[in-house]
A and B are shown apart, each in its own frame.
Chain A
Amino acid sequence: MSKTFSIGGIHPNDSKFSKDVSIVDLPVPERVFLPMNQHLGIPAAPVVKKGDTVLVGQVVAEAAGFVSAPIHASVSGTVTDVGLYPDFQGKRVQTVVIETEGDDWLDTIDRTAQVKQEITMVPKDTFQKIQEMGVVGLGGAAFPTYVKLTPIEGMNPEFLIINGSECEPFLTSDYRLMLEHGQELMIGAELMRRVLGTGVTGVIGIEKNKPLAIKAMQKITAGYLQWKVVPLKKRYPQGGEKQLIDAVLGRKVASFALPISTGAIVQNVGTAFAVYEAVQKNKPLVTNVLTVTGSDPKIQYNYRFRIGTPIEDVLKTAGALDAEGNLLPHIAKVVNGGPMMGKAVVNMKAPVVKSTSGLLLLTEKETKRLEPGECIRCAKCFQACPMRLQPYLLYQLALAGRTEELDEYRVFDCIDCGSCLYACPAHLPLLDLIRLAKNTSLKNIRKK
């Protein structure tokens, strides 16, 4: 019996079509858009103005608070505008626009492909480097990495869990990273482990549908005494922070508590790789890896992209646009991220950002919602919920607007994983309303 989390979960189709496609570099775009809210927390503050010339890796925005992260230029060229631009959902965000000229990098950045094995930097400097280089969690939430590594009074880290589960269907960028850059991300992980303390045990959790990655990482961790690979049974949402801690350690995070309260800190494999680049190569977070995929066998790729590349440009390279720049007719929806938690793209001129893990192209048949029917109380949503909530009940309460009861039934525990809506045979829009109710509930609780 291999490990997995103890409550709920679903088994959607894997659909990892692009898993055997190597990562290739996307061409440098003509223009990048760097939104200031690429991380959770306070948006960064721009330090460049219209007309400035910048090199790749140069800071264009500083962190504007404790939970914030700086943003670096991902191309070299001229800043053509600093202003409000609609993001991929059409919401207006402060954005720095850079028109590309050449590809000149700051000369402090080591751009060689050689793996720099030996760790020379002391933990304190490592921590500072991670902060300076704008590294954020690349698993989806984009929480500034250094904040997670900051010690909290009374909570001792015991485990650093590297999340290689990639439980979202379709996405393969983490998998490719583990296969192609296993050594590097291992060094990044070790760097973070040293920041947390020498007594911390390192664990890499990988789902069993990725046997090659498990083998590769096991081979690499053989050289690291404090590290081991834990194969996990395939199940969604294994990559959820709470679920992963439960799966690996059998510990559960309480409502409103930080994961560190269980002694565990979770970082994504992508983040580990970014830490490696930041610390060993002195390279800020200006590139990341994303998957462009869908059921169309002609459009299945893994790309290393410059942060701020317009979605249009990525899709064009992938061949998802026709000659006039319109989406191919069979694609009905573009999702930023995975199919379970990703967000639908409205504005294709908006950029892919630090935490973008994939662009998913779905056909109408795959994604269109079916006409909702009556709840037959099959309890499949209840069985699917990894937080042991009763989605059918929360949905009814949310429809009726019974806020107090929603709290009583712990709507605030919802992690937005989408399992309930996925599992409902009556096709009820459970999560739509529960998510809304949860946000209201959290707002009310914070007010108190």
Chain B
Amino acid sequence: MDKLLVSPAPHIHTKESTKGIMLDVIIALVPAVLVSLYLAGISAFLVLAVSVTGCVLIEHLIAKYLMKKETTVRDLSAVVTGLLLALNLPVSAPWWMVLIGCVVAIGIAKMTFGGLGHNLFNPALVARVFLLVSFPVQMTNWALSNGMFSPENPLIPGFLLGVQGQLPDALSGATPLGLVKEGISLGLTPQALINQEGLTYGKLFLGHMSGSMGEASGVALLIGFVYLLVRKVIKPIIPIAILVTVALFSGILYWVNPAQFADPLFHLLTGGLLIGAFFMATDYVTSPMSPLGMIIFGVGIGVVTVIIRVWGAYPEGMSFAILFMNAWVPLINKIKPFPYQKEVSRG
């Protein structure tokens, strides 16, 4: 350098970058992706591939031709959205549904607001809820089959032809939460239903394939979560707040009337609670920034989730709960942190 560089202090900077953070999230999602590949084989791969490429492509096209600015796909945030969206879909989702999801997630929920950092709601969740409301049958009828690696995988033709995979009855079914909800409305006790379906906690935790791809295995999600904690990408406050709230709230209900309400552990292990708590609610952009705000946010999600699960029309409420609390984030962020030291003396 022939001329000295000059800038205000500080003169050194962290090696972290937005891209690095996104890469960490992608790495953290790898276990969950592997489990879904193991359980659903090629069909899971197809959904993942279409979702990720779709999201990246749409973001690139919108940035370049609609917003006329430099493409923003290099920060990898679109890849994260694509992965999360895929993990929020059933393996039996046909290609056009995945693509619609991409358009909604990136086009509507993210780029309309101005791209990365400006969106109010978690893009992947907006897409999931959009699809859930638009195609309730496809989105809630899940494939139960194991070992779908063979070319005769019954889901592949469905995926390609754009119709819901035609499954023999034995291979499809409702989610555990759906089963319980339906059973309760028929007058059965949750415990009896769980026993009847053979849903042991071990099975729920390690991996079952009745639900969207990312909901399959609690342990895979936990590994990813621990990775994020170790890398200091996220703080554990929001997930802990959500889990504790759900456990407490559903625990009280269970304690009041075990015949009508499922036990807390069942609530914790089923549905999108873990993926939601670990990966969706902790999304930087759509979650509060202060520890106190994070607690409020987490508790809110927990309460709303249980309310929807127990009294709502849908068996699962995690995605609605997170979106609902997303809307509160700007308000929660207005809470001022405690000042360093309150008394102002001008001595």
Give me the interface of A with B, judged by CB distance under 8 Å: 7, 10, 12-13, 152, 155, 169, 242, 252-258, 261, 326-327, 329-335, 339-346, 360, 362, 364, 366-370, 373-380, 382-383, 387-390, 392, 409-410, 413, 416, 418, 421-427, 429, 431-432, 435
Interface members, chain B 8-56 (any A CB < 8 Å): 8-14, 16-18, 20-21
A-B contact pairs, 13 of them (CB 8 A): A252-B341, A257-B347, A332-B4, A364-B5, A370-B13, A377-B117, A387-B340, A422-B13, A423-B14, A425-B16, A426-B17, A426-B18, A429-B8
**Residue from B13, B17, B285 with most neighbouring chain A CB atoms (10 Å):** B13
Given contacts A155-B347, A333-B6, A378-B284, contact A425 B1 (CB under 8 A): no
B18 lies within 8 A of A425 (CB): yes
Chain A residues within an 8 Å CB radius of B338: 388
Chain A residues within an 8 Å CB radius of B341: 252-255, 257
Q: Does B64 contact A (CB under 8 A)?
A: no
State how many angstroms separate the Cβ of A378 from the closest Cβ of chain B.
Answer: 4
Given contacts A368-B5, A374-B118, A409-B336, contact A340 B10 (CB under 8 A): yes
Q: Does B150 contact A (CB under 8 A)?
A: no
A409 nearest CB neighbor, chain B only: B336
For chain B, the bracket of interface size reads 35 or more
User: Which 9 pairs of residues, A with B, have the shortest CB-CB distance?
Assistant: A418-B10, A374-B117, A379-B289, A252-B341, A254-B341, A425-B16, A333-B5, A344-B6, A332-B1
B289 lies within 8 A of A376 (CB): no
State how many angstroms separate the Cβ of A412 from the closest Cβ of chain B.
Answer: 10
Given contacts A258-B347, A334-B4, A422-B10, contact A373 B18 (CB under 8 A): yes
Q: Does B116 contact A (CB under 8 A)?
A: yes
Q: Determine the distance from Cα of A330 to Cα of B339 in the docked complex, in whole angstroms.
A: 44
Q: Does B182 contact A (CB under 8 A)?
A: no
Given contacts A390-B337, A413-B340, contact A367 B17 (CB under 8 A): no
Q: Determine the distance from Cα of A378 to Cα of B20 in the docked complex, in whole angstroms.
A: 13
Chain B residues within an 8 Å CB radius of A346: 4, 6
Contact partner of A344 (CB less than 8 A), chosen from B7, B13, B77, B347, is B7
Q: Does B115 contact A (CB under 8 A)?
A: yes
**Residue from A258, A343, A378 with most neighbouring chain B CB atoms (10 Å):** A378
A376 lies within 8 A of B117 (CB): yes
Q: Does B290 contact A (CB under 8 A)?
A: yes
A392 lies within 8 A of B6 (CB): no
Q: Does B68 contact A (CB under 8 A)?
A: no
B116 lies within 8 A of A431 (CB): no
State how many angstroms separate the Cβ of B217 from the closest Cβ of chain A.
Answer: 27
State how many angstroms separate the Cβ of B249 from the closest Cβ of chain A.
Answer: 27
B3 nearest CB neighbor, chain A only: A332
**14 new A-B pairs (CB below 8 Å) besides A374-B117, A382-B290?**
A155-B347, A255-B344, A257-B343, A333-B5, A334-B4, A364-B5, A367-B5, A374-B18, A376-B21, A388-B338, A389-B337, A389-B340, A390-B337, A426-B18
B5 lies within 8 A of A256 (CB): no
A12 lies within 8 A of B117 (CB): no
Chain B residues within an 8 Å CB radius of A258: 347
Chain B residues within an 8 Å CB radius of A421: 10, 13
A374 lies within 8 A of B115 (CB): yes
A386 nearest CB neighbor, chain B only: B340
Given contacts A7-B340, A382-B289, contact A418 B9 (CB under 8 A): yes
Chain B residues within an 8 Å CB radius of A431: 8-10
Chain B residues within an 8 Å CB radius of A387: 340
A366 lies within 8 A of B12 (CB): yes
Q: Determine the distance from Cα of A373 to Cα of B345 in the docked complex, in whole angstroms.
A: 39
Q: Determine the distance from Cα of A152 to Cα of B345 in the docked complex, in whole angstroms.
A: 14
B337 lies within 8 A of A341 (CB): no
B117 lies within 8 A of A375 (CB): yes
Q: Determine the distance from Cα of A426 to Cα of B344 in the docked complex, in whole angstroms.
A: 34
State how many angstroms separate the Cβ of B16 from the closest Cβ of chain A.
Answer: 4
Chain A residues within an 8 Å CB radius of B346: 256-257
